[in-house]
Amino acid sequence: MRKTEMIAECQWLLLIHQLPTKPAYFRVKIWRRLQAIGAVAVKNTVYALPANMGAQEDLEWVLKEIIGGGGEAVMCEARLIGGLSNAEVRALFDAARDADYEAIAREARSLAETIDTDGTPEKQAEARVQLARLRKRFSEIVTIDFFGATGRVLVAGLIGGLEHRVAEESSVTVEGTRPAAELIAELQGRIWVTRRGVHVDRIACGWLIHRFIDPDASFRFVAGKDYVPNAGDLHFDMFEGEFTHEGDRCSFEVLLSRVGIPDPALQAIAEIVHDIDLKDGKFGREEVSGIAHLIAGIVLANKDDEQRIAQGGVVFDNLYQYFRGKRG
């Protein structure tokens, strides 16, 4: 994993270069090198990376290759004081990684459809080969996902779900066989950790935790990358968390299934959260558009994650009562 210590208090490393017009393949070669190390273009010939020792070494190799190929290049440490803001540059990195994650997600979903339609041993063996390639590609992207793009959790769940399905020897997990009260008791008195900048899935999970698992639960919001967990903490909707995306299920669905509460009203909410979060229209819930707009408004109006969960909780409380009333 890359080190994240900032160099001399500078935010960014910039590579400014000019390439020869010929041979044409050299320009493509350098572009691919920059893509591989996770650099993003802030101007046509200016590429940026977060200022850390790993990034400096990567850019030094690219710089030498450019100069060796007859081009010109200079690398510098920079602190942005005008034009692009730090947040805007970070957004460029997140957008680039989310595009990478989406490409893997499309392949994973296509592979899942293939497995569903052809369960022969030959197809299963082929699926394992394809899945290993997807896992390798995913691991490569994670190493250059400097700020924890949102797509990482979704893809981790998709790949994890596929790995479970094609495993030659898989253990059978039976959910709901223990009393819900017993399961819930084990989750009380804990600190629940998730990524900063909560949106619908994490807001819904926070509501479920407060409302049905532990009214006194404490939340901690951390950076998506380079977070060091504390013993005893529980993690939701984050990479390698205890309660996160599994297969095509969002974190709320996974958490609800694990605690084993057999409540149709909660299941209806889970379907809405799924359709908003994964945007796949799996359940086709008519309430999706309205709830999505309400949650988006709460997110825009509140930068504080605790406030987002508190105000989002009011929405889900009312939604829960609505579905409970429909059963009467």
126-161 burial by CB neighbour count: b if 16+ within 10 A, else e? bbeebbeebbebbeebbebbbebbbbbbbbbbbbbb
For tokens 């558009």, name the residue: 289
Whether residue 101 is contained in a domain is answered as: yes
Question: What is the tens place of the pLDDT at every residue in 253-268?
Answer: 999 998 988 889 999 9
Same domain, 269 and 290: yes
Least confident range of 207-216, 218-227, 267-276: 218-227
How far apart are the C-alpha atoms of 242 and 254, rounded to whole Å? Answer: 10
| pTM confidence score | 0.63
Whether residue 305 is contained in a domain is answered as: yes
Question: What is the tens place of the pLDDT at every residue in 173-205?
Answer: 334 455 677 888 889 999 999 999 999 999 999
Q: Would you place residue 116 in the very low, low, confident or very high pLDDT band (cuts 50, 70, 90)? A: confident
Q: Number of folded domains in the chain?
A: 3
Would you state the structure tokens that stand for residue 175, as one six-digit string? 């959910």
Same domain, 67 and 112: no
Residue at a domain's end among 44, 78, 112: 78
Whether residue 149 is contained in a domain is answered as: yes
* First vs last C-alpha separation in the chain: 54
Segments forming the whole domain that contains residue 102: 87-166
Whether residue 5 is contained in a domain is answered as: no
CATH code (residue 52): 3.30.70.240
At 175 the pLDDT is 45
26 and 19 in contact (C-beta within 8 Å)? yes
Same domain, 91 and 71: no
Whether residue 263 is contained in a domain is answered as: yes
Same domain, 224 and 112: no
Would you state the structure tokens that stand for residue 129, as one six-digit string? 């080969």
How far apart are the C-alpha atoms of 308 and 240, rounded to whole Å? Answer: 23
Residue at a domain's end among 98, 132, 166: 166
